[in-house]
Structure 1
Amino acid sequence: MSETQAESPRRRPSLLRFNPKVFAVAVLASLLLGALLGWLADSTGAGWLVTTLDTIGSTFTKLLTFTVLPLIFTAIVLGITSLRSMGGGRAAARLGGKTAMWFAITSLISVLIGIGVAGVLRPGQGVDISPDQQRVNDVNEMSSGSWLDLIQGLVPEHLVGAFAEGETLQVVFVSLLVGAAAYSLGDKAKPFVEFNQAVFEIIQRVLGWIIRLAPLGTLGLIGNAVATYGNEFFAPLLKLTGATYLGCALVLFGVYPLLLWFVARVSPVKFFGKAWTVLQFAFVSRSSGASLPLSRQAAVNLGVDRSYASFAVPLATTTKMDGCAAVYPAVGSIFIANLFGFEMGIAQYLTIVAVAVFGAIATAGVTGWFTMLTLTVGALDFPPAMIATGIAVAYAVDPIMDMMRTMTNVAGQIAVPTVVARGEGILDDEVLKAPSSPLLINGDEEADQPEERRDGSEEEPALAKA
């Protein structure tokens, strides 16, 4: 072995290397096969097949869900502590402020699009469905609460309880608090930060194994949805589903590309070329939290500084949900109003806008749509029975709508950090213009090292220069 070979570092195989074309074909095949199996189960009354599809889909969902809370906690803590490389507290505060500003701007645009689409398509008119009473009771129980309850619920009684009870919003609050404390302690908190880094990488490794099962999970989820809902899914609530998809599509393929092109000077073709794999996975998994590692890497591949991406993307994963927290609450609220013949005025529409812009922090991972829709219709002062029945009816088609909502969420969680990075001068155009490559989760060791100049010297991190 030559001396040069001995000195060169050995590349560690990546945890998960996606081939976008193979992944797309596998997902598409799973969608078609799952729909076919679901139709067969529904038409033949094969209960065993329905049970099998439900077991496959629910198991995949549970596997994704149990990784979300530790992933969010460690990612936010590491993201906040990584802000030290940004050149001090002022730079970090400036970046955080601009990130929040663009979150609010895109949420405002998204909710207005949702209102406009629902106003034209008028979902809910002509629909006459009597939902299962037990479902109505369950939704009524979940819908109880107010803004005061939400604020009081931010602080957990004890740390373990927030994780054990799956309180995502409380975990986010604790993560921000702990991350800020670790940031303020500096080197004293280094062992704690290193521990979180190790846990973060372990969770990513587990999640990488789970993601490989995405085509199988898709087959089960789609098959069970078709077998369970049948005509109830495809016919009476077609307008609600169509309005949700159209509103999200306008944001996903209209708002974000225009924002990237005119503000960030990033080609939409380049953006979707490097982010399409994670958008496909978001569509299948219906989880922004499970998509987090891929979303972060997609932002880095678009040229966003790694330190800023480690902060902004995890934060966006829990608070930036234009599909679930802006488009859908608008469409869903108007759907419920039309369902009961309730005529809304300008005050009600302004309330929907306000809740979407200022209530995004209330969204929480996998179930953010429910929180935001409940908050919105509650703020509109709809009667409890009307809220419960309306949401129960929407439940029938929620799994399919949630796919497009989550895809839109994740696109925004990548697009906004890209826009902010350009404005702060921390977007690497050389990385942006590089050919698209398979996404990596916890990838090669070299990926986490500073970029090397052409002359072999290490490039100074962009955030440090900023």
Structure 2
Amino acid sequence: MTTTSITSPKIRTSRRAWWKELWVQVMIAMALGIALGAVRPDLGTQMQPLGDAFIKAIRMLIAPIIFCTVVNGIAHMADMAKVGRVAVKALVYFEVITTFALVIGLTAVNVWQPGAGMNVDVSSINASVVEPYVKQTAAVGFVPFLINIIPQTFVGAFAEGNILQVLFLSVMCGFALIWLGERAKPMTDVIDVGAKMIFGMVKIVMWAAPLGAFGAIAFTVGKFGLGSLSSLGKLIGGFYVTCVIFIAVVLGPISALCGFSLWKLIRYLWEELLVCIATTSSETVLPRMLSKLEALGCERSIVGLVIPTGYSFNLDGTCLYLATAAVFLAQATNTHLDISHQVGLLLILLVTSKGAAGIAGAAFVVLAATLAAGGTIPVASVALVLGVHRLMSQALTPTNLVGNAVATIVIAKWENALDAARMRLVLDAGEAPDGGA
């Protein structure tokens, strides 16, 4: 087995003071946000700009990070056949795992039936609240999705922050640098330094993570309030349990087969998971995921290709949400769904779930698109889950994150690009090496 080219620095033996740990600061901020939202809902909702500002600060760095990481990784790989091989393996893995997620989601919602007995009259639903989302469904679909991968201009991909468009340009630039050979070295050196600069900016922005978590949680609790959502509590609770079951039943055995403990991996990514839960966005930790998985022992080029691609194609939590929400709405509106209907729904979701990349409120938009494509469940019924979508996102986003972390390790091992000894050392220590993240 070939090992990663990453130098293996020593694992820290002395820990920082507990109150300096990011995860502690984020948890304290979340607790304060929950308290504020519960006691002063009006003031809690006014904290939304704090969470939004943090998310925007991270998102502005994602495109240059992906570009620098992928271009540098491919250029140093110097093997276009390997790039194609990694991409094919990743896409096959993504399709298999997301299919498992959809099947588990459909099975679970049929067993606990959270919408049974609600007897919602569709004509009484105010459909105007979901019109902005339904209008976007025309852009969701497999063919438009493929066309949208090609940006209008080179700079436009970075301006819009579309991950797949940036990835497309990065792969092309990486191939071009391979063809240039030794003449490309000055450019790869510049890109390498640029990546280090961007990751330095990420560390600066992450200092504000507790503030962002506080604002996002205070807004969620202040605006929705758990009391007003009691009628949908069965749906929310069941969905959280479904996400846990998927992680344990699907990702757990895969991790064991690859020689690592899933629970140790979750401990290693604990800070990133907390930020995801608070902000309901996995994009906020994408830069840290790249550096932490590289520090774990995965080859840089594998991490650079798999993680950005997974953020569009390997959305396990989103698939669980789509399957759960669609059948819940059928149950709530007394829409009959037999086995053939649910198989058809599964096939539609396999396509629409891949067409969500780059769309604001992607999971909700794709849900509306799926109902429109199926033609069985009333599209207007999505208004029933609009209010709880954010709370369900607090389960689906960390599920997406864990799924992509496992996928990266699996593909790295499949490609003999994983330093297994280093991975075990880091996971046992429960922290990244110095400079790893």
TM-score normalised by the shorter chain: which range applies? 0.7 to 0.9
Counterpart in 2 of 1:223?
218
2:388 aligns with one of 394, 397, 401 = 397
Aligned partner of 1:104 in structure 2 is: 95
Closer, same or farther: CA 61–133 of 1 in aligned 2, 3 Å: farther
Determine whether 1:24 maps to 2:23. Answer: yes
Counterpart of 1:362 (choices 347, 352, 355) is 355
Residue matched to 1:73: 67
The one-letter amino acid of 1:109's match is F
Partner of 1:241: 236
Q: For 1:276-318, what per-residue CA distance to the aligned partner results, in whole angstroms no more than 9, with x for missing partners?
A: 3332333233333331232223323443233322332232233
The equivalent of 2:5 in structure 1 is none
Equivalent of 2:342 in 331, 342, 349: 349
List per-residue Cα deviations over 1:45-65 (Å, max 9, x = no partner). xx4x14531222222232233
Q: Is the 8 A contact 2:280 2:397 kept in 1?
A: yes
In structure 1, what is the equivalent of residue 34 of structure 2? 35
Given the alignment, which residue of 161, 169, 174 partners 2:156? 161
Structure 1 residues 406 and 187: CA distance shift in structure 2, 3 A: farther
Counterparts of 1:267-416 in structure 2 under 5 Å? 267-324=261-318, 326-359=319-352, 361-364=354-357, 367-382=361-376, 386-387=378-379, 389-416=380-407
Look up the match of 1:116.
107
State the alpha-carbon separation in 1 of the partners of residues 314 and 298 from structure 2: 17
Q: State the percentage of identical aligned residues.
A: 25
Report deviation, 1:431. 0.5
Match 1:417 to one of 408, 413, 416: 408
Number of equivalent positions? 416
Q: 1:256 offset after TM fit, Å?
A: 1.1
Q: Aligned equivalents of 1:245 and 1:37: distance in 2?
A: 24
8 A contact 1:76–1:176 mirrored in 2: yes
Which amino acid in structure 2 is aligned with residue 299 of structure 1?
Answer: L
Give the C-alpha shift of residue 323 in structure 1: 0.7
Partner of 2:13: none
Q: C-alpha distance in 1, partners of 2:67/2:114? A: 38
Structure 2 gap ranges (5+): 1-9, 11-15
Alpha-carbon separation, structure 1, partners of 2:125 and 2:191: 46
Q: Superposition RMSD on alpha carbons, in Å?
A: 3.2
Q: 1:160 to 1:348 in 2, by over 3 A?
A: farther
Residue 412 of structure 1, CA deviation: 1.2
Q: Which amino acid letter does the alignment assign opposite residue 28 of structure 1? A: M
Distance 1:69 1:429, change over 3 A: closer
Q: Distance in 2 between matches of 1:68 and 1:195?
A: 18
Q: Distance in 2 between matches of 1:162 and 1:425?
A: 32
Matched letter for residue 156 of structure 2: G
1:438 paired residue number = 431
Counterparts of 1:176 and 1:319, CA distance in 2: 17
The Cα offsets for residues 369-392 of structure 1, whole Å up to 9 and x where unpaired, read as 235424432332357xx32x3333
Q: Deviations over 1:318-342 (max 9, x none)?
A: 3221111x21111121122223222
Q: Distance in 2 between matches of 1:392 and 1:190?
A: 54
Structure 1: any 5+ residue segments left out of the alignment?
1-10, 12-16, 449-466
Query: So what's the TM-score if we normalise by structure 1?
Result: 0.78
The structure, 1 or 2, with the larger RCO (C-alpha pairs under 8 Å, 6+ apart) is: 2
Amino acid paired to 2:35: L
Match of 2:147 in 1: 152
The one-letter code matched in structure 1 to 2:86 is L
Using a 3 Å threshold, how does the CA distance of structure 1 residues 39 and 100 change in structure 2: closer, same or farther? same
What is the SS of the residue equivalent to 1:427? coil
